[in-house]
Structure 1
Amino acid sequence: MAKVSKNNAGAPRINIGISDKDRAAIAAELSKLLADSYTLYLMTHNFHWNVTGPLFNTLHTMFMTQYTEEWNALDSIAERIRALGHHAPGTYREYAKLSSIAEPTSVPDAMDMVRLLVKGNESVAKTARAAFEKADGANDQPSADLLTQRLDIHEKNAWMLRSLLE
């Protein structure tokens, strides 16, 4: 029977073909993505609750579609961090440190909400792209696949929101 390598806590060491150093670097980038994604989720949900004006129904519905998708993605990102052997950030304090998205300090008007969500989705896409480079460089296909999916969603959301501003 083959001997199983164990860590200091006695649990089997992770041996998935990605070095400890690369797993840590990818997990760090995914943690930034999780923080950006959670911040964008919260902003989108806030705007869903507080939007007013002639485009109320359109924006209320669009924001709900987007925040629901964003909420569901959070679990996949956090679980990938855990699969790489690291703890996923899960507090507002951690997210505030890691996120590249500035939260609004007041409730903006409807078109400013759209502008902020365009910027937020673009920020998440940039964060996902940086994480993709780490994952791809380490031959981490599951993380790369997750990141490709997130890029597709956030670039599409940014385009749809941007279209409302033209």
Structure 2
Amino acid sequence: MSPSALNIDIGISATDRSAVALELSRVLADSYTLYLMTHNFHWNVTGPMFKTLHELFMTQYTEMWQALDDIAERIRALGYYAPGTYAEFEKLATIKQPSKVPNATEMVELLVKGNEALARVARTAFDRADKADDQPTADLLTQRLDIHEKNAWMLRSLLA
């Protein structure tokens, strides 16, 4: 994550921009990992809840796919390169992919845990952005928190 060659003067110090960009990179890595897991489960879910889960997973991965761009572009606006390779994501992500295709119930459980993990990472990034007085990043992260906490709740409700 190298800083831009141009001098950036948006009212946030270089040190704070760097720290926020790093936290956003972690959010991006976990978002991409969860996106990929959700899309994989959409393709491979089976069982009596197939139609419901297939459609729910599609709704969730489609929303995450669109959010990836917003997160990466905010990193760029802060003057840093966004991570964009599997190797970079693997180093930054807290969410781990399953090694085999789980059954439908396990898929839902893994997605609950993934959304909760992403909410925790986004909350840490929010705290860093808030300390840096970085309102655009804080706003973006507030939106992501709302989505992932809601996703976790909806998925958790399927397990009750």
TM over 0.5: yes
Runs of 5+ unmatched residues, structure 1: 1-6
Instruction: Tell me if 1:19 matches 2:16.
Output: no
Identity %: 72
Decide which of 11, 34, 37 is 2:28's aligned counterpart.
Answer: 34
**Which is greater in Rg?**
1
Letter in 2 for 1:106: K
Letter in 1 for 2:15: K
Pairwise CA RMSD of aligned residues?
1.1
Instruction: Tell me if 1:90 matches 2:84.
Output: yes
TM-score (norm 1): 0.94
Letter in 2 for 1:44: T
Decide which of 75, 95, 103 is 2:97's aligned counterpart.
Answer: 103
Q: Which whole-Å deviations, capped at 9, do the CAs of 1:134-164 have from their partners, x for residues lacking one? A: 0000100000000000000000000000000
1:82 positional shift = 0.2
Residues 8, 24 of structure 1: CA spacing in aligned structure 2 closer, same or farther, 3 A cutoff? closer
For 2:53, the equivalent position in structure 1 comes to: 59
Mapped partners of 1:123, 1:39: distance in 2: 11
Instruction: Tell me if 1:133 matches 2:127.
Output: yes
Report the secondary structure of 1:139's partner residue: coil
1:77 positional shift = 0.1
Report the secondary structure of 1:40's partner residue: helix
For 2:71, the equivalent position in structure 1 comes to: 77
User: How many residues end up aligned between the 2 structures?
Assistant: 158
Residues 135, 8 of structure 1: CA spacing in aligned structure 2 closer, same or farther, 3 A cutoff? closer
Mapped partners of 2:121, 2:82: distance in 1: 16
Asked if structure 1 preserves the Cα contact closer than 8 Å seen for 2:4 and 2:79, the reply is no
TM-score (norm 2): 0.97
Q: Which runs of 4+ in 1 moved over 4 A?
A: none
Letter in 2 for 1:143: T
Asked if structure 1 preserves the Cα contact closer than 8 Å seen for 2:4 and 2:80, the reply is no
Letter in 1 for 2:145: L
For 2:111, the equivalent position in structure 1 comes to: 117
Runs of 5+ unmatched residues, structure 2: none
1:37 positional shift = 0.0
Letter in 1 for 2:85: T
Mapped partners of 1:78, 1:102: distance in 2: 20
